Chain A
Amino acid sequence: MSGTPEQQLEALAAARWRIALTLTVAMVALYFGFILLIAYAKPLLATRITAGLSLGILLGALVIVASWLLTWVYVRWANTHYDAALHRLR
């Protein structure tokens, strides 16, 4: 990053805000997408993939797995890029 420390902090704040907002929107879209499927596509979610596994159960479990993945993406970005940039600013 270049510029005065103030400009660098502003750029870093903007980057963090962009990532936080993108990931939040992704989480909202995933969960409410799941709810909307439950509401409007019941037969689709009843589809069986195997004898015991319906598409609905699979997607529900995937919402939980996706929550982990999104938090992991954020923590990885923050632990490397964000913390390093903060360290340079201190």
Chain B
Amino acid sequence: MTRIGEPNTVAMAFFFLFIASTLGITWWAARRTRTTEQFYAAGRRISAGQNGFALAGDYMSAASFLGIAGLVSTTGFDGLIYSTGWLVGWPVVLFLIAEPLRNLGKYTFADVVASRLSQTPVRLAAALGTLATVTFYLIAQMVGAGGLIRLMFGIRYELAIAIVGAAMIAYVLFGGMIATTWVQIVKAVLLLGGAAILATMVLMRYGMNPAALFAAAAERYGAGVLAPGGLVAKPLDAISLGIALMFGTAGLPHILMRVYTVPDAKAARQSVFYATGLIGVFYLMTFILGFGAMVLVGPDVIRGVEPGGNMAAPLLAERLGGTAFLGFIAAVAFATILAVVAGLTLSGAAALSHDLWVHVVRKDHADAAEQLRVARVATVLLGIVAVLLGITFKGQNVAFMVGLAFAIAASANFPALVLSIFWKRCSTAGAVASMVTGTVVTIGLILLSPTVQVDILHGTAWFPLKNPALVTVPLSFAVGVVVSLLWPAPEEVAGYANVARRMHLGAGTTEH
């Protein structure tokens, strides 16, 4: 009864239209990408409104679109725990991170941590955290992309991965941040538009009243779908995941990098405000889509097509708008993946070239042409690595890697960033210890957790929590503070006055 998995003319048409228009954008952007500032930060000429959409585009992954709709369609209320969890990190980005980052940094968050600390160790540790976050996030996205495209378009997994890799490399290599930003904006508009059309079509059947939709679901599948179920069996698991989502958002390298694309701190503030609004609307809509799919498609049909429930939104689109609308939503999901991996690749390339090559290897003695060349080489390398990882992990259960990426971002990047910005006595030793501890302990604990030991290896877990953030985030803060106090650096403390000034007044006012 569903045409999912069969070659779909409309999906192909929309898909080629998206590829053609984004490559057109890339060609246009390539002629405006001549300096490292243009390559990494779009020349800092993106407006607050544009960046609001681009931030939302970078963040709203296919995993959350398809995953949350699927979770709601099969469990009801429990999916809402994720809908809220994916949003609540954004206010934290706004309150603590966005403006200081824009005023203190240039291209990466390591710029900020290193601004008054010792360059080489800080850059090395920050690159470790960035590359770990980006790698695990990329694996999850690539494997998800391969499976999704195979399921929806009926093309081979390896070919799907290769197409994603080629398009993503083209955007970043030639068009840098300018192309990546516009790809995000196009994707965000498509995704929000597609979800809005779908949600409106659902609600029109219920007099535009969500409560009537929920009542219909409760009537058919029992009152349980409107109440908490088994998802939060262990409260500590839910709290730990919540910590990872909330503080991980404020430590995601590809999100942090976006604040450098706007002219000043005020625009950075406005853009995060807009992004919070857009992302909140999006996750409210996924909740409607999930209940719509539950009532109009049915949980059994959804699980029958894909056991994880990920096809709930595409199936709903097919039910409401036929094969053509299914094709449109499938193409939107594909565009979503492509945009997210492009953003991830650019932030990984910045860590490799700007943090490691320019500052650690060349000690800041690389000229502009070399910097741009190295950034492009790093982009191609990362793109190839992403494709190889996608193929290596084919068929593996990698859904946990998104949670792992958020846990590393929350434990390795966020504490060091906050300590270096807001705490005068934070020293090089403290920041480095915090970042290394955050990366290493998070990866170690997830390997020992039920997520890997029980769900994948079917053994017994040594560590009780599915996501380690409840332990690793406080640990990274504690390590940062204790090491800073044990190995103080008076000259770095003295440098804080200048940092505090620049944090508020911007880089232009360093000299008074």
Contacts and interface: CB of A to CB of B under 8 A. Distances in A.
A74 B84 contact: no
B215 A52 contact: yes
B80 A20 contact: no
B273 to A, nearest CB: 5
A74 B210 CA distance: 30
A24 interface: yes
Contacts of B17: none
Interface residues of chain A: helix, strand, loop or mixed (majority): helix
Contacts of A20: 95-96
Contacts of A53: 210-211, 214, 226
Contacts, number: 151
Q: Size class of A's contact patch? A: 35 or more
B95 A50 contact: no
Contacts of B211: 50-53
Contacts of A83: 266
Interface in B67-83: 77, 80-81, 83
Q: Size class of B's contact patch? A: 35 or more
B223 A24 contact: no
Contact of A56 (B88, B226, B266): B226
B242 A56 contact: no
A20 B269 CA distance: 12
Contacts of A79: 266, 269
Nearest to B213: A52
B364 to A, nearest CB: 29
Nearest to B233: A39
Interface centre among A10, A35, A42, A48 (most CB of B within 10 A): A35
Contacts of B273: 71-72, 75
27 contacts: A21-B95, A23-B95, A27-B91, A27-B95, A31-B242, A32-B239, A36-B235, A36-B239, A38-B81, A38-B228, A45-B77, A52-B214, A52-B217, A52-B226, A60-B77, A60-B83, A63-B84, A63-B88, A64-B87, A64-B280, A71-B272, A74-B94, A78-B266, A86-B505, A89-B504, A89-B505, A90-B509
Interface of B: 77, 80-81, 83-85, 87-88, 90-92, 94-96, 99, 209-218, 223, 226-228, 232, 235, 238-239, 242, 246, 266, 269-270, 272-273, 276-277, 280, 283-284, 287, 422, 500-501, 503-505, 509
